[in-house]
Amino acid sequence: MPTARASRPAAFPVATVSLAVAAALGLTAPLALLATGCSDPNDIYKPAPAYSGKKADIPSVPTLPSTPMKIGEAYTIFGAIHQLRSRYHAEDVTKKDIVIQGYIVDANMATAPTCAVHKIGKKDPDDCKSEIPSFWIADNKGDKAGQKIRVLGWASNWANVSEAMDHYKALKEAPKPAEKDHPDHAGKPGYLVQDEVWNNDIPFPIPGIGECVKVTGHYGTVSSKASSGLVTDPEHGVMTYASMEMLEPPVEPAAFSKEATLKKK
């Protein structure tokens, strides 16, 4: 016959006794100690008065640029520089030729040294120091202080520019490109003049201040198309010219300095 097993008394769940039960059992004194024993009489909320000192010098909210990244297929100067500086989008503007649209705001033609302005076939003096023909484009007309991109590669030297100017000055209509379809017609009536060194068409009109242009070419931080060596601009980039379309004419025709023009004659 199986023996009866004594049942084990259930453990008293002290931790689960509610305060209401404790109060019903007359344990009011411990409850009072429990309520007051864990509080700090000095830790009482005291509302602080509103700050009345000097106001913080907080800068105004900056105005974000409203210039678009692109105008149609062409990058703006802002857009091209923005992408160039991006670790994610730099290849969008450097991997292949792109189009950049802007206004010509500066050029180095007027500062070309007189020793470099002469007929084609004549060598520059050994001590003649000259920059490669270049112009700079910006998003806003006349904005020389803002972001701008240097464009070079449209002429190898000032002798070629001088030759093209002499050829273009009597033209009433824009000449046709000669570089691809009719290289043997280069410089002849009705056709663009080709650079003697690079065999590319020199643009008509010669790039001048105020002209709005679409420039196609290779964009990046370095251009190797210069006889003097590499041209670099890590901040704004450099555009190596391939072709150009004029959207608005220049304010004034491009010109050499008076001294260089007189010496050439």
pLDDT tens per residue across span 228-245: 789 999 999 999 999 999
Q: What angle do CA 233, 239, 243 make, to 5 degrees?
A: 165
Number of domains in the chain: 1
Contact 70, 226 (CB under 8 A): no
pTM recorded for the entire structure: 0.75
Question: pLDDT (tens digit, 9 = 90+) per residue, 135-177?
Answer: 999 999 999 999 999 999 999 999 999 999 999 988 888 888 8
pLDDT at position 20, please?
55
pLDDT at position 188, please?
78
* Alpha carbon distance, N-terminus to C-terminus of the chain: 139
Which has more confidence, 16 or 96?
Answer: 96
| β-sheet bridge partners, residue 232 | 222
* 53, part of any domain: no
pLDDT at position 37, please?
56
* 28, part of any domain: no
* 60, part of any domain: no
* 81, part of any domain: yes
Kindly state the percentage of the chain with pLDDT values over 90: 60
Q: How would residue 46 be classed by pLDDT, with cut points 50, 70 and 90? A: confident
Which has more confidence, 188 or 48?
Answer: 48
Question: pLDDT (tens digit, 9 = 90+) per residue, 26-43?
Answer: 555 555 555 555 667 777
- Domain range holding 93? 70-264
Q: How would residue 12 be classed by pLDDT, with cut points 50, 70 and 90? A: very low
CATH number assigned to the domain comprising residue 146: 2.40.50.140
* 78, part of any domain: yes
Q: How would residue 15 be classed by pLDDT, with cut points 50, 70 and 90? A: very low
pLDDT at position 24, please?
57
Calculate mean pLDDT across residues 72-81: 98
pLDDT at position 215, please?
98
pLDDT at position 236, please?
98
* Alpha-carbon distances of 136 from 36, 131, 154, 215, 218, rounded to whole Å: 79, 14, 12, 11, 15
User: What does DSSP assign to residue 225?
Assistant: -
Calculate mean pLDDT across residues 218-222: 97
When the pLDDT of each residue in the chain is averaged and rounded to a whole number, the result is 86
Looking from the CA of 25 toward its CB, the CA atoms found within 13 Å total 9
* 15, part of any domain: no
* 185, part of any domain: yes
Contact 101, 136 (CB under 8 A): no
